[in-house]
Amino acid sequence: MQQVNDIMLQAAEAFKKYRKISGKEKAVFLRTIADEIEALGMELIQTAMEETNLPEARLLGERGRTIFQLNTFANLLEEGSWVAARIDTADPHRQPIPKVDLRKMLVPIGTVAVFGASNFPFAYSTAGGDTASALAAGCPVVVKGHPAHARTSAMVAKAVLNAVERTNMPEGVFAHLESGDGFEVGRALVMHPETKAVGFTGSFAGGKALFDMANQRKEPIPVFSEMGSVNPVILMPEKMANDAENVAFIYANSITLGVGQFCTNPGLIIGIENENLEKFMDVLSDEIEKVVPATMLNTGIYKNFEAKKSLALAQDGVITESVSKIEKTVEIQGTATIASVSADVFLKNPTLHQEVFGPFSLVVKCKDLAQLTEVLGHLEGQLTATLMATESELQTNEEIVDILRNISGRLNFNNVPTGVEVCFAMQHGGPFPASTDGRFTSVGPDAIKRFVRPASYQSFPDSLLPDELKQNNPLNIWRMVDNEWTK
């Protein structure tokens, strides 16, 4: 497509300049984007409300998170140590051969194509985490707006472009493509030779399609697709004996938070069948019956929720335990639903292992800890896994902890998976199929690592080295010099 080609060639030219701009200048750029988004005021919030059916309070919070993300990456750039500078100085007298001078740091990879998410119109979309981390890394960004909030995306894109102009960034460092002709635009973006990486948040089908395209290129490129998961919650017997009712209250809220439209929604609950699990089920069912149906993001997501929920409930051995008793007032409202199934059936039916995106959770009833462990061994990669347990149960069930650690990006203890903190210690990404590369996070400052690569300079004159690697450390950043951390 000619439009995509023109934009990508302009981005490639911008990269030649942008990659050399200092961290402090890029930090000013990111802070200016944050200011421009905030300056859009309630008009942006109202537009997003109209397009996504999300409530005002949720969108105000998400806008705040988006601004916080941009400022967090600005802080990272101002401090500077994120480049992971490594210096091994020369030793001409080393025997049997002299040692050369080697200096290494992280450098940007080039233009990044970002695909906006439907369920987070700010934080995971046009100026969200993918865009912020790529720009922070020194990479131009081309965003394909999501059709579910096209006007919102266009408004945010204009804010970014205003910031480009205000801070004198290179023309082409950011571009926004409207959502029309979705598949063809997306394919053209991924296949263009100037695209060097892809960021995506959404369905498994969409993320896997982008991943497959990228690997069909003459020059394969990394695709960082976050594709959701069922986020299993394990109810350990000692914990349930003491706290079943409270756990049920907590999870009734987590399952239905945001109409279940979070990639960390607890869609699978696994416990041992006994009176304590029944107590849990009774309280959970009572709470679910009281949940007021709420409007989902759009008609497509609602239809997908209904289809996948119906498919799960139609499977042999699945029992519908609880459904909200409050009638819908709008067709595309999601009705909270809890179902259960025996572990014997679950183990034989892969359909029940799949995500139902919305206010739905499946409870798997196991005969004992041995069968519970067997169920865990059949689960695929997850964004999160949660243990509701006592500390002594963690100590005596090391195998269960190890299995969950191996299949999840974030292992939770006596908490809920919903709610993703933006910080260094957050890991939002897990083994496939939760994401296409579980080594990286899409949330927090470490997300910058997706869009860089290590590069070494050997025996370079000091004057020609990047400031990050010069002998006198003009940026005053932490570096590892001859195996010791120092400024």
Distances (CA, A) of 12 to 15, 27, 83: 5, 21, 22
- Amino acid at residue number 81: S
Would residue 263 show up in a list of annotated catalytic residues for this protein?
yes
Spatial contact of 199 and 442, defined as CB atoms under 8 Å apart? yes
Determine the Cα–Cα distance for residues 463 and 202; give it in Å rounded to an integer: 46
Determine the Cα–Cα distance for residues 261 and 294; give it in Å rounded to an integer: 11
Strands 195-201 and 319-323: unpaired
Using alpha carbons, select from 168, 379, 203 the residue that is nearest to residue 297: 203
3-class DSSP state of 453: strand
Would residue 139 show up in a list of annotated catalytic residues for this protein?
no
- How many residues are given for the chain? 487
DSSP class of residue 435 equals B
Distances (CA, A) of 357 to 300, 379, 420: 12, 17, 17
Q: Per the residue annotation, which of 36, 51, 194, 263 is the catalytic one?
A: 263
Determine the Cα–Cα distance for residues 35 and 180; give it in Å rounded to an integer: 29
Q: Per the residue annotation, which of 36, 62, 194, 226 is the catalytic one?
A: 226
Give the start-end residues of each E strand in 301-359: 319-323, 333-334, 337-342
Spatial contact of 469 and 103, defined as CB atoms under 8 Å apart? yes
- For residue 206, give every residue at least 6 positions away whose Cβ sits within 8 Å of its Cβ, in sequence order, or none: 115, 200, 225, 227
Determine the Cα–Cα distance for residues 138 and 164; give it in Å rounded to an integer: 14
- For residue 460, give every residue at least 6 positions away whose Cβ sits within 8 Å of its Cβ, in sequence order, or none: 101, 103
- Amino acid at residue number 150: A
Give catalytic residues, as residue numbers. Answer: 226, 263
